[in-house]
Amino acid sequence: MTPTIHGTCDARFAPLRDTFVRNFSTFGETGAALSITIDNKPVVDLWAGHADAARTKEWRADTIVNVYSTTKGMAAICAHRLADQGRLDFDAPVTKYWPEFAQAGKSDLPVRYLLSHQAGLPAVKRAMEPHAMYEPLKMATALAAQEPWWQPGTKHGYHAVTYGWLVGEVVRRITGKTLGTFFRDEVAQPLGVDFHIGLPVEHEPRVAPLILPPPPTAEQADLFAEILKDPESMLAKAFINPPVPLDAVNSREWRAAEIPAANGHTNARALARVYGVLASGGALNGTRLLSQAAIDGALIQQADGPDAVLPLHTRFGLGFMLSTPKEKMGPNPRTFGHGGMGGSMAFADPDARLGFGYVMNEMHSGLWLIDPRPVALIEALYASLA
């Protein structure tokens, strides 16, 4: 059944709108939203479907949803904003801002390794109780105390959740604010975007609960078996320490916490606006988010190749995903952004001066960095621009 499509779409992007509609039948979307800006002007702002698995609540213009690792891009922006202000040096040792981080031979580890997944800290070694997931200071303290899993800088491996605690603690040490509060004050409110890292209770009625993915394929089952066979392994601890079940994502406890790598709640419009600003020189209506120099620095490749945690080729700039040969955020080489588990995706394309945001509530599982749904949208988008 074709859903009712709401919102606006410039005529030149009609094929993109058609692809958005087809995703509901082709990929089993329940509810989703797509937004595109060019030169900081919205050219596509669409939403459709339902905000719940029972399909009793319509997805609305103000519906928000958990976007998992798409949140990491916002954490990176916070760090770049501090660098722009002269308060953070990416080449300085982390210990300049966080002295306790010197434990276990980490005294010389530079800040940039935290943002480029090269720090060797993708998992906490000490077994943590489930509630620690919601206590960023407890997790940061555990990471500061431990020895890296590999020599920092010699390789990279995806810091799926620890990324947020590491970057967040540096932000807190410099500003006295949690990353969620700093993001609200310095990014979300000045730009007028509906993005929350630590969701206030008054926004609960607008949240579309995530619909958990179907049972894994044989390939995915093999990976999960590998993760679980040795609970003391780096791979296991990266994903199940603290041991929080996947359905916790829909709890008030998860939404209220600040997990800067994984629990941002937002919509496509906010993502496109933020990344559109980064793609268009760093300012919107007189409000400067980042300097052009900071943006240029963010997209310089820091790490590229086989990932030490994920069974994938990954490529990172300073806090952002970069396109890989197999998985591209469009055809232009300077594109940067971040995707999230289950399917959400956002990026900036400075060459096209374009911001892209896509969110959904129907989670898909798969061994990819960019879900097939945004892949189809990205292909249709650039075909419309050609």
Q: Which residues are catalytic?
A: 69
Are 85 and 234 in contact, with CB atoms under 8 Å apart?
A: no
Q: Is 78 exposed, middle or buried (0-12, 13-18, 19+ CB in 10 A)?
A: buried
> Tokens 């620890």 — which residue?
162
Are 345 and 327 in contact, with CB atoms under 8 Å apart?
A: no
**DSSP line for 309-376:** SSSSEEEE-SSSEE--SSS-SSS-TT-EEEE-TTS-EEEEETTTTEEEEEEESB----S-SS-HHHHH
Please give the Cα distance from 134 to 52 (Å, whole number).
25
> Tokens 């509530």 — which residue?
361
Strand partners for 358: 34, 345
Grouping H, G, I as helix, E, B as strand and the rest as coil, residue 6 is strand
Please give the Cα distance from 165 to 15 (Å, whole number).
41
Q: Is 113 exposed, middle or buried (0-12, 13-18, 19+ CB in 10 A)?
A: buried
Backbone angles phi, psi at 361, to 5 degrees: -110, -15
Q: Is the peptide bond before 242 cis (omega within 30 degrees of 0)?
A: yes
Please give the Cα distance from 181 to 275 (Å, whole number).
20
> Measured in whole angstroms, how far is the alpha carbon of residue 51 from the centre of its chain?
21
Q: Could you report how far apart the first and last alpha carbons of the chain are, in Å?
A: 31
Are 80 and 112 in contact, with CB atoms under 8 Å apart?
A: no
Please give the Cα distance from 126 to 90 (Å, whole number).
28
